[in-house]
Amino acid sequence: MQKTIETKKKILIDLLKKNEVVKSGKFVLASGKESDYYVDMKKAITEPEILKTIAEIISETIHKDNINKIAGPALGAVPIATALALESKKPLLMIRKEKKGYGTSKLIEGELKKGDQVVVVEDVTTTGNSLLKAINAIHENGGIVKRAFVVVDRLEGAKNNLKNHDIELEPLLLVSEFLDK
Binding residues for 5-phospho-alpha-D-ribose 1-diphosphate: 96-97, 100, 122-130
Where does the chain show beta strands of DSSP type E? 22-28, 34-39, 69-73, 92-95, 108-109, 117-125, 144-153, 169-174
Helix 48-62 vs helix 5-18: angle between axes, to the nearest 10 degrees?
160
Which residues define the annotated binding site for orotate?
Answer: 126, 154
Which residues define the annotated binding site?
Answer: 96-97, 100, 122-130, 154
The answer to whether the beta carbons of residues 167 and 135 sit under 8 Å apart is yes
Report which of 90, 65, 94 is spatially closest to residue 79, judged by C-alpha positions: 94
The answer to whether the beta carbons of residues 138 and 145 sit under 8 Å apart is yes
Report which of 113, 78, 119, 118 is spatially closest to residue 95, judged by C-alpha positions: 78
* Cα separation, 36 vs 21, whole angstroms: 14
